[in-house]
Each structure stands twice: as structure tokens, then as C-alpha cells.
A and B are shown apart, each in its own frame.
Chain A
């Protein structure tokens, strides 16, 4: 008598479990419900995903797109390097440009030094220091449109 014969009655009783069946039509709906849950999950995760991850997902789905994007970046880099080297060889004189259009240069020079708004005392100081050269003086002296000005304080 082997192990299986010892448990034969039990095994026949356990066979009853195979007769237990879910409600009719259950398996016809099952896969559809799982697929619907997968779709719902994908929609939720897509809505919650930051734009950067969405962008990266395009690369995951289409590796060819990733390689072409990387190629385009490399080309851009090479172009940038070549352009930078060429511009180093033939530098554009800055002052020539300033003579043609002085106003943008002045504006940029003023903004670069980020001068504070002159108060009354500063105006006084500037009129006193008119004779001494300031950092902007060479620029003014070369620019025909710019005129040095002096302010008079009322009451003096």
C-alpha cells in the first residue's frame, strides 16, 4: 500500500473542490475588467506624470527617436564649437558698431554698471567732479551724439 492509496478517500473528497465554479459568465468578463483597470491606471499615471518624464517616455517607446535626438544635440554642439572658433579668428570691433548705433550700447553700458538713481547729493557731486575723468568719459568723448552735461543746483 503506497502513499497514494492511504489518501485515496481524501483525494476523492478533494476532487469536489474542482466542481466549485464561479458564477456563469464570470470568465467572459474577467479579462475585460483587468484590461480596463490597466487602462485606467495608465491614464492616471500619465496625468500625474511631470512633463520631463513624459518626454523621456517618448525615448523609451521609440529608441530611434532617442538616437536622432542625441545626434541632433551633437551636431548642435559641433556647430557651436566651429562657430565660436571662427568668431575668435575674426573679431568684430565693438566700437564700430557703437558708432553706428550708439543708443543700445549706452543703454547696455549703463545697465552693466547698474548705477543707482542719482539723488540730489549725487547730482551735486557729479557737477563738482566734472573736470575729473570718469569711467564713462572715454566713451562719451568718442561718441559724437553724447554730450557731457553739468547740473546747476537751484539756489546756488
Chain B
């Protein structure tokens, strides 16, 4: 089977434009920073949401990540893209938060896009291949999120970034700050764990 489309740095927004916005934002131009937020808010929010399985926590953490990035803009040397740097801030904030709330995980899940009911892959998964044929999408969503929360933060992160967000191994290595081999091994182990947790819902 083909690998899902992976997003690479070359597909990120035009570097020149981004660097201009960053330069303006560093001088305190909030309009430029507003543009940068709009550009990355969905990806940053989604990553944090998939890590926490909680909309309110994801909202707070995403806002704090953008706040911290603005305050730290003067220390941004441009060694990596602004997007990678921002991602790293968001991921570190999220992991620190998850460590603190270790034993009091509370899910607050977003609604599933109504078009999901017409997604052939998901329909097949729910109605044909799943032994629990009575399981609806909402139940499946809950079980899936619960299984993800059972993974350790580093393993959950690579699954979220690769299998949910569609990032490449190289990009994940940059964000996480480890080598590609580590990313691959964590991904393999995390998938194995998930397969075990979700055995009832997989063929």
C-alpha cells in the first residue's frame, strides 16, 4: 500500500514570505504575527489536541505556545524554519503539561466531521471489518483516543505527527530532536502497542 502523502519542508509556505513576516514580527508588528498565527494555527492546534485528546487543554496550550514564541522571537536565530521552531515550542509545552497531569487524564473530544460517515475507508472499517459491528464512529473515536493516551508521550508524539498529521520522518526528527532511526523505531513500537489495544476494532 502506498504511504500517505507526507508533508515536507519544501511544501511549507514560501520561505521568503515567512522570513519577511518573522522579521516584521520581531520588530513588534502584531499584524505580521497575526498572519503567522493564521498560517500555522490549525496544525499546531491539531498536534496538541491529538496529544491531549482534550479541546480545552489544546486551546490553552496552543495559545500559550504562540505567546511564548512571540516573546522568544528575538532569540530565534533562523537555524531552522520558523514553523519547525514553533512546532518544537508547542510540542515541549504539551509534553511538560502531560507529565504534570499524568494521573488525571480527562478526554474532551471534538466532534467528528459529518463527512466522515461517507468516507469509504471508515465506513468499511466500522461496518465490515470490525468484529464489533455495532460500534459507531463515536465509540470508535473514544476507543482510539483512549488507546493513544495509553502510549508514552514520545511514542504518542511520533504516531500523531506521522500517521495523523502526515509529517515525514525527517521533519519529526527535527521537531523531536532525535535521529531518524529513533523516530522509526518509536513509530514501529507505538503502532504495535496500538494494534494490541485496538485488536477488537481491527481485522
A residues lining the B interface (CB < 8 Å):
3-23, 26-27, 30-35, 37-39, 41, 61
Contact = CB atoms under 8 A, between A and B. Distances in A.
Contact of B67 (A4, A20, A22, A41): A41
A8 B122 CA distance: 13
Contacts of B188: 3
Contacts of B55: 22-23
A9 B37 contact: no
B195 A10 contact: yes
B83 interface: no
Given A12-B121, A16-B144, A19-B119, A34 B66 contact: yes
Contact of A30 (B4, B41, B111, B159): B41
A18 B119 CA distance: 12
A6 B113 CA distance: 27
A21 B113 contact: yes
B86 interface: no
B112 interface: yes
A38 B67 contact: yes
A9 B125 contact: yes
B122 A16 contact: yes
Which has the most chain B C-beta neighbours within 10 Å: A14, A22, A30, A38?
Answer: A14
A39 B67 CA distance: 10
A130 B199 CA distance: 117
B180 interface: no
A34 B61 CA distance: 11
A13 B140 contact: yes
Interface residues of B, number: 52
A12 B122 contact: yes
B12 interface: no
Nearest to A31: B37
A13 B198 contact: yes
B30 A38 contact: yes
Given A4-B1, A10-B198, A20 B141 contact: yes
A37 B63 contact: yes
B41 A15 contact: no
B45 A30 contact: yes
Interface string B96-115: 00000000000001111101
A20 B119 CA distance: 13
B144 A17 contact: yes
A32 B129 CA distance: 44
Given A13-B201, A34-B63, 10 more contacts: A3-B188, A9-B125, A17-B144, A20-B50, A21-B112, A21-B113, A31-B37, A32-B34, A37-B67, A41-B71
A8 B67 contact: no
A19 B50 CA distance: 11
9 contacts: A14-B144, A14-B194, A17-B50, A19-B112, A20-B113, A22-B110, A30-B63, A31-B41, A33-B63
B164 to A, nearest CB: 5
B141 A16 contact: yes
A38 B33 contact: yes
